[in-house]
Amino acid sequence: MKADPITGFWGIERGYLASPASHEQFKKDVLTGTTINSFEYEDPFNFIPSYGATTSLNFNNNFIQFGDGYSSLSSQGLNNVNMQMNLPFYEREASEIEQIIEHVEKHIGSPFPFQTVKYDDLEPNEKYKALYSVPPYFQQEFQCEGIERNYSRGEYQNVDLVFGNKNISLFSKDYIFAIPSMPTNFYDKIKAEIKKDTFEHIPDQSLNETSLFRVKKFGSTKSRPFAGKERINDKTLTYDLLFDPIDLEKMTLILAFMMSKAGTWFYFSPDGKESSRKKFICNEISQSYTYNNVFSVRCRIAETISF
Amino acid sequence: MSKFIRYTECPVKINEDFYLAKRASIGAQASATNPIEFGGKVGISTGIGPERSEFFMQYFVTGENDPIANLTGKNSCSGSFGGIEFSGAYLTNYHIGIKPYAPVEMSARFVVLSGFNNNIQESSFSENDYTVANGANVELTNMNYLNIGMDNPVEITYEVACERIPSFVIGSSYPRHVNLGAVEKYLDINGDDIGDVINYQERDIAEISIKASDELGRSRGQTLFCSGAIENQRLDISAGGTLNGQVSIKEVIR
């Protein structure tokens, strides 16, 4: 196999990632193409999970603490997002459970595509959905990290799988929820959301707020430590934000915003008022599939004090 | 526009069979919640689970067999009454009540998992000459003192309870399939005392059979069978009354 003499790329076949005439054309095809050509994954995991499935996103950042409570974030690497799906397959026939387990055991230690709807089974204007693993994630490659099987009754059984993905990078994180071939209206909303510097969604009334006090401490080996009030920045807030129940669009906007800020701060105030907003970082997101077009999202955010 | 439709009879159709019902009802209950934002703003009602719909009917068997008694397995059924059509219905409870010199009354409860088609209209029972089972013409086997500790049963109720477990997948409003869970039979017998055998608790019994007929001795509904174990016994006495006994038998099918 030879590299393309013009672009320098290796082994790129025609298709969605079409062999481009130039590097500029390559970027255009990948990032701004509005149609996707026919494609078929090789041996995808195509079993649809039951309601109750959850996805968690954790952002790996170094928290650098300066004097007087000031802090800064530094990404631990290019791939600083841990994505984990907990997928229940409940009340399935024993034969289906066997197929599910056989599929993931065949791929122990190696990634495989996760695709719940095939390209050929979709209407022309919905072909983009073939790129979902499960909505709203345009993220197909997973490794199975474990199986929990319950023999509830001989004929029908339950199995829980844990899928992991650590491929999301600082460069790809904005394309997990928005691809150009999805409906333009929704795509534009997501792109507009990730450009914002303020998180504007009002959480559920069951808001959990934790205040952490920063105090001056002084001690020696011969006496108990002495604690006193800090001069400035003596309190930081942590919020556990719940959005439940919400629809697919609102969930996607929340997730896309938090994902776009993986490693950077944003403004937020629980009541949405500009006067009370502060700077926060998001450490962890958990999302679950409740029923039909109903979802819930929980975000843990912590106040950060920076210039 | 409201309609006032009077029913002289209450005809119900299950699959392709018409039933002479005494009462029939259908209802749906939504699993919905109203989200409330921080600050108190109330959002619109949102369905957070499948709608739970139920169809119930009390009826009399007018033919030799009762096809509803065959729905205790994995099969679903469709039906209609009063112009409302439903499908994807699964029998959850089948009940028979036998009293002396009274018509043998059946009741059936279904969970409906695939919606309705509404077109309220009047209809009537087309059969002109029908007979129903009578409590005075019920043939009992093994319903005696040696087996259940009671010789003279007065009132008998027989029930089959079928657990239905729908399996939903992400993105779907309706279940992909419905699994049959536990199936249990219950037989309650009230009669003239249970004598000195009240310690029969947990005792396995010989299979009891119940065969109901009309006044002319023609079979009405299948012969019912129940074995299992005596689960409960009770003796009642009250001032001015007679000594009454009750025996409850439970049989676990799956």
Alpha carbons B170 and A92: distance in angstroms, whole number: 14
Q: What pLDDT is recorded for position A16?
A: 46
Best CA proximity match to A302, nearest among A221, A245, A238: A238
Contact (Cβ atoms closer than 8 angstroms) between residue B170 and residue A48? yes
Residue B1 confidence (pLDDT): 43
- Chain A partners of B165 at a C-beta cutoff of 8 Å? 91, 156
Residue of B nearest to A289 (CA): B170
State how far the alpha carbon of A169 is from the alpha carbons of A23, A26, A83, A176, B243, in Å.
Answer: 21, 20, 11, 10, 81
pLDDT at A59 exceeding the cut of 60: yes
What's the pLDDT band for A105 if we cut at 50, 70, 90? very high
Taking contacts as CB-CB distances below 8 angstroms, the residues of chain A near B46 are 245, 247, 294
Residue A18 near residue A28 (C-beta atoms within 8 A)? no
**Mutating which of B31, B34, B38 best tests the A interface, going by the most A Cβ atoms within 10 A?**
B38
Q: What is the total count of domains within chain A?
A: 1
Please report residues of B whose CB lies closer than 8 A to that of A48.
Answer: 169-171
CB contact under 8 A, A90 and B170: no
What is the distance in angstroms between the Cα of A202 and the nearest Cα belonging to chain B? Answer: 6
Q: Got the DSSP string for A249-273?
A: HHHHHHHHHHHHTTTS-EEE-TT--
- B8: its two tokens: 């002289």
Calculate how close chain B gets to A135, using CA atoms only, in Å: 9
pLDDT digits (tens, 9 = 90+) for A193-228: 999 999 999 999 999 999 988 888 887 888 888 888
Q: Using one digit for the tens of pLDDT, what is the confidence trace for B48-68? A: 888 888 999 999 888 888 889
ipTM above 0.85, yes or no: no
- In chain A, the largest separation of any two C-alpha atoms, in whole Å, equals 77
Segments forming the whole domain that contains residue A232: 41-303
| A112-126, B112-126, B150-164: least confident range | B112-126
Pairing outcome for strands A141-150 and A112-113: antiparallel
Angle (CA) B182-B184-B185 rounded to 5° is: 165
Which residues of chain B make contact with A244, given a CB cutoff of 8 A?
35
Does residue A248 lie within any of the structural domains? yes
Interface of A to B at Cβ within 8 Å reads 48-51, 53, 90-92, 116, 134-135, 153, 155-156, 202-205, 207, 244-247, 270-272, 289-292, 294
Cα–Cα distance between B213 and B133 in angstroms, integer? 5
pLDDT at B195 over 70: no
What average pLDDT does this structure show over A185-196?
Answer: 95
Inter-residue contact A106 to A75 (CB < 8 Å):
no
- What is the distance between the alpha carbons of residues A185 and A67, in angstroms, rounded to a whole number? 46
* Mean pLDDT of chain B, nearest integer: 81
- The model's pLDDT over A139-177, given as tens digits with 9 standing for 90+, comes to 888 999 989 988 876 677 899 999 999 988 888 888 899
Say which DSSP state A69 is in.
Answer: G
Q: In this predicted structure, what is the pLDDT of residue B125?
A: 47
List, in sequence order, every residue forming a beta bridge with A95; answer none if it has no partner.
none
Give the mutation candidate from A292, A294, A297, A298 for the B interface (greatest B CB count, under 10 A).
A292
Please give the Cα distance from B74 to B7 (Å, whole number). 33
Q: Which residues of A touch B169 (CB under 8 A)?
A: 48-51
| Helix runs in chain A, H state only | 23-32, 94-106, 184-195, 248-260
H-helix or E-strand containing A210? strand A208-213
**What residues in A contact B41, CB-CB < 8 Å?**
202
Residue of B nearest to A51 (CA): B170
Contact A205 B38 (CB under 8 A): yes
Task: Give residue A89's pLDDT.
Answer: 95
Q: With bands split at pLDDT 50, 70 and 90, how would you rate the model's confidence at B194?
A: low
Mean pLDDT of A45-73: 88
Write out the two tokens for B147: 């087996």
Contact state of A245 with B37 under an 8 Å Cβ cutoff: no
Region B187-205: mean pLDDT is 70
- How far lies A277's CA from each of A197, A210, A243, A295, in Å? 11, 16, 19, 26
How far A240 CA sits from the closest chain B CA (Å)? Answer: 12
Q: Domain map of chain B by residue range?
A: 10-31+50-252
Q: Which residues on chain B place their C-beta less than 8 Å from a C-beta of chain A?
A: 31, 33, 35-41, 46-50, 165-173, 179, 181
Among B189, B211, B186, B197, residue whose Cα is nearest residue B145: B197
Across the interface, do B46 and A245 touch by the CB < 8 Å criterion? yes
- 3-state SS, one letter per residue, for chain B: CCCCCCCCCEEEEECCEEEEEEEEEEEEEEEEECCEECCCCECCCEEEEEEEEEEEEEEECCCCCCHHHHHHCCCCEEEEECCEEEEEEEEEEEEEEECCCCECEEEEEEEECCCEEECCCCCCCCCCCCCCCEHHHEEEECCCHHHHCCCCEEEEEEEEEEEEEEECCCCCCCCCEEEEEEEEEEEEEEECCCCCCCCCCCCECCCEEEEEECCCCCECCCCEEECCEEEEEEEECCCCCCCEEEEEEEEECC
Q: Which residue has the higher pLDDT, A207 or B120?
A: A207
The per-residue pLDDT for range B77-114, each reduced to its tens digit, is: 988 887 778 888 999 999 998 888 888 888 999 998 87
Nearest chain A residue to B49 by CA: give it: A291
- Contact at CB, A245 and B35, closer than 8 angstroms: yes
